[in-house]
Amino acid sequence: MSNIITLTVENYETEISSGSIVIDFFANWCGPCKSFAPVFEEAAARYEGKIKFAKINVDEQRDLALKNKVMSIPTLLFFKDGEQVDRVTGVTDQATLSKKLDLIV
């Protein structure tokens, strides 16, 4: 998980402001989040240098979850140059994730 950054209120705006980034909203106690983690990590390795990958723990960063209207986890938000361009709620497979990532490269 070395190339996946952790977002907080302090670095959120800076990290999403330019380029492409996908954010995984999760919680440590969430079973579906745990099952999705390897898919996210594999995508982060494949798109390294092209798209930033980040995680937000909804228990630790409640304000960011509320700001982004995250009601269920896991939720993925896709940003390009500061604008949200897509959202996926629930576990997704590698093929679906790759199609969405290809749109923001």
Q: Closest Cα partner for 73 from 97, 100, 91?
A: 91
Active site residues: 30, 33
Which tokens sit at 57?
A: 């723990």
Cα angle 3-101-12, degrees, rounded to a multiple of 5: 55
Alpha carbon separation from 49 to 9, 54, 66, 67, 87 (Å, rounded): 24, 13, 29, 27, 22
